[in-house]
Structure 1
Amino acid sequence: MGNTFVSEDPNEPDETRSGNGVQAVERVVRALEILAKEGSAAVGDMAEWMGVHKSTASRILGALETHGFVQQSSRRGKYQLGVGLLRVASSIPRRLSLVHTARPVLEDLAQQFGETVNLAVRRDVYAVNVDQAMGSANLATYDWIGNLTPLYATSSGKVFLAYLHSSDREELFHQIELKSLTPHTHSRQQLEKELPDIVQKGFATTHGELEDGLNAIAAPVFGHMGDVIGAVSLSGPAFRFEPEDDVVVKAVVSAGEEITERMGGPASHDRS
């Protein structure tokens, strides 16, 4: 059959005869990964990057083209990812509900520390909490779900600000009225000094900036396109909760990375 990967090079092992179907699958996956990274590539380049004979690369690309997973670009001889992949990918977003995916991670974090854990998304100039897990140590059961909280005074909000493009952040600052909600609320100057550190460290903290006596830490959640789609936060009263404690930081950052992975986002070493 036309889609069977049978070697035309007598010096190259035949995957079909050797029974090494796993190798064939790995080569197909590798071809798709290369095209996803490079945008387009000629058969010769694909062969070199994959470490196979040119005839093998041509056969793999031909099979993928038959099913619409790759297509020849306007520049003859070059291949790029095809629309057939959309048939497969289109079923993913329906299953990757952020709230549903993050829920077990939130519950584990709340159980570990006994404090309140929130999942937030950005809506214009606000961070909106879309889910919450309550820890056993809570003195009250305040429900943050649905609340619009200012970006500049919450740990989740700081995450969203920190990972925005500078021009988008500048535009947001023109829309935001930075009110002193407590004596600890940061000014714009303080925020702009703090935001680069948030990206470098991978988390943001607040110390009584939204409510006096309430501390919090948040880490970003990345989507499959590498953009920040949410933030997971852990908060508690200042008398017992230190957001920059090493154990707390490690747990919250790990929670963000776990939700990112479940959402199909890039691993931390793949993000610039």
Structure 2
Amino acid sequence: MSTNGDSTVRSVNRAVSILQVLARGAAGVTQIADELAIHKSTVFRLLATLEARGLVEQSVNRGEYFLGSGIAELAAGAVRRHDPNVLSRPICQDLADEVGETVNTSVRDGSDLISIDQVIGGSAVTTVNWVGQRTPLHASSAGKVFLAALPDDELTAILDGDLHRFTDHTVTDPGTLRMQLEQVREQGYGYTFDELEIGLGSIGAPIRSLRGDVVAAVSLSGPTFRVNPSTLPDLSDRVKAAAAAISERNGFPTPG
């Protein structure tokens, strides 16, 4: 693709991200530029174009922008589906094909994790179907992603509860879990090795909503001779990229 083509694609991506920010509520140029890490002059130029097409409008005092009536017209021509399976399945399929492992999409139900979709990679050596199964949050990579996003009062209630030990490697000490969850927040992913089952490794990352809430998680799992600390850097990058792509489809703005 030419340099001009790259610039055009980048401008389209940025314009969509601006619309996603405004979907949360009115915002000014500086606020949008700071959130998306885009220069204010670029934001102003894109807003002017979107305003000309009726997709955004300015407030009376011209200090803030909000979504315009053109957005409603576009929405009327599409049937929006919010099923996480529909949003995540193609991306999870690509991830499973890339790494050859099992990829799951999960949601939280209280102190448990429920798998709602599964894609089997070509290298998978297991026939376990995780769909519909419940797993305690503390013993799974995706579960730790959800725990890391909880308000402190909800997190404390779960950590003070019954943290079942599945193997000798299951982390059940609340203090140790809190330290792990801080790492999840910093790195953007969680992982477990031998904690739910001996020989099973897993890496999970958050799927976010328009407002940034963690509404689901994507996780990769496989035998620890393939999913282990030495392969963690590469695999975690791939899982995070998949989760980010699904989040973008779900309306979460992409910085840059």
How would you bin the TM-score normalised by the shorter chain?
A: 0.7 to 0.9
Structure showing greater relative contact order (alpha-carbon pairs closer than 8 Å, 6 or more residues apart): 2
> Given the alignment, which residue of 86, 104, 107 partners 1:118?
104
Q: What one-letter code is carried by the residue in structure 2 that aligns with 1:183?
A: D
Partner of 2:156: 170
Measured in 2, the distance between the counterparts of 1:87 and 1:133 equals: 36
* TM score, norm. by length of structure 2: 0.72
> Given the alignment, which residue of 20, 26, 30 partners 1:39?
26
Partner of 2:192: 206
Measured in 1, the distance between the counterparts of 2:72 and 2:92 equals: 31
Structure 2: unaligned runs, 5 residues or longer? 1-11, 29-40
Measured in 1, the distance between the counterparts of 2:102 and 2:118 equals: 7
Q: Secondary structure of the equivalent of 2:80?
A: helix
Q: Is structure 2 residue 234 aligned with structure 1 residue 247?
A: yes
Q: Secondary structure of the equivalent of 1:94?
A: coil
Q: CA 1:79–1:257 in 2, change beyond 3 Å: closer, same or farther?
A: closer
Q: Any conservation in 1 of the 2:104–2:218 contact (CA below 8 Å)?
A: yes
Measured in 1, the distance between the counterparts of 2:220 and 2:249 equals: 19
Q: Any conservation in 1 of the 2:209–2:250 contact (CA below 8 Å)?
A: yes
> Given the alignment, which residue of 89, 114, 118 partners 1:103?
89
Partner of 1:184: 169
Partner of 1:145: 131
Instruction: Show CA shifts across 1:157-201 (max 9, x none).
Output: 000011222233223334x41111111111211110111111111
Larger radius of gyration: 1
Q: CA 1:78–1:153 in 2, change beyond 3 Å: closer, same or farther?
A: same
Q: Is structure 2 residue 250 aligned with structure 1 residue 263?
A: yes
Count of aligned pairs: 228
Instruction: Show CA shifts across 1:83-125 (max 9, x none).
Output: 9556755887833432112111111221222211111111111
Partner of 1:15: none
Measured in 2, the distance between the counterparts of 1:99 and 1:129 equals: 10
Aligned-pair CA distance for 1:136: 2.0
Q: Secondary structure of the equivalent of 1:119?
A: strand
Instruction: Show CA shifts across 1:222-252 (max 9, x none).
Output: 1111111111111111233225622212211
Deviation larger for 76-85 or 112-121? 76-85
* TM score, norm. by length of structure 1: 0.68
Q: Any conservation in 2 of the 1:205–1:243 contact (CA below 8 Å)?
A: no
Measured in 2, the distance between the counterparts of 1:169 and 1:180 equals: 18
Q: Any conservation in 2 of the 1:235–1:243 contact (CA below 8 Å)?
A: no
Q: Secondary structure of the equivalent of 2:159?
A: helix
Q: Any conservation in 2 of the 1:220–1:256 contact (CA below 8 Å)?
A: yes
Q: CA 1:148–1:89 in 2, change beyond 3 Å: closer, same or farther?
A: farther
Measured in 2, the distance between the counterparts of 1:33 and 1:100 equals: 22
Q: What one-letter code is carried by the residue in structure 2 that aligns with 1:170?
A: T
Q: CA 1:50–1:170 in 2, change beyond 3 Å: closer, same or farther?
A: same
Task: State the percentage of identical aligned residues.
Answer: 32
Instruction: Tell me the C-alpha RMSD between the 2 structures.
Output: 3.8
Q: Secondary structure of the equivalent of 1:184?
A: coil
Aligned-pair CA distance for 1:142: 0.6
Q: Any conservation in 1 of the 2:21–2:253 contact (CA below 8 Å)?
A: no
Measured in 2, the distance between the counterparts of 1:169 and 1:265 equals: 24
Aligned-pair CA distance for 1:220: 1.0
Measured in 1, the distance between the counterparts of 2:225 and 2:21 equals: 53
Q: Is structure 2 residue 179 aligned with structure 1 residue 193?
A: yes
Q: Any conservation in 2 of the 1:217–1:244 contact (CA below 8 Å)?
A: no
Aligned-pair CA distance for 1:71: 8.6
Partner of 1:45: none
Q: Is structure 2 residue 214 aligned with structure 1 residue 236?
A: no
Q: Any conservation in 2 of the 1:205–1:244 contact (CA below 8 Å)?
A: no
